[in-house]
Amino acid sequence: MFSTIKIYHNPECGTSRNTLALIQNAGIEPIVIEYLITPPSKAELIELIRSAGLSVREAIRKNVPPYSDLEIVREDWSDEQLLNFMLQHPILINRPFVVTDLGTRLCRPSEVVLDILPFPQKGAFSKEDGEKIIDENGLRIK
């Protein structure tokens, strides 16, 4: 038995959509948190970053306007300041984070989620761009 799986999801993001589809391909319907609509609390964000083994800076999305507008590239920002930027501008939170009993990961690329799913893939899977990553037997292609 496993407890609930959560994905911090942005439906506009291909990597996030692929990650969600891989979870579903294992026969799991996760709790989907559209974090741009319902951002995590500060405590939740800190726990996501910590449990994924990332630094605050590693959890920031760089290719969005607030990153350059706020000059987040500057090295003198503290973790506290970076967290506050992420809370004020949730688009800065990199995605998708997935939480399972087996761990928390920032699933970039999407197949990182396979390391923390409690069930195997049920069939073939290709990413939206056509890259086949799971074969007909539910096995990862490498």
| 101-122 tens-digit pLDDT | 999 999 999 999 999 999 999 9
Give me the active site residues, please: 13
For 93, the token pair is: 């939170």
> Does the structure show a pLDDT above 60 at 1?
no
Question: For 38-84, what is each residue's pLDDT tens digit?
Answer: 999 999 999 999 999 999 999 999 999 999 999 999 999 999 999 99
CATH 3.40.50.300 fits 1-35+95-142, yes or no: no
CA distances from 37 to 40, 56, 57, 113 (A): 10, 21, 22, 23
Distance CA 134, CA 131 (A): 9
Distance CA 70, CA 83 (A): 13
For 27, the token pair is: 């026969």
Domain spans in the chain, listed from the N-terminal domain onward: 1-35+95-142
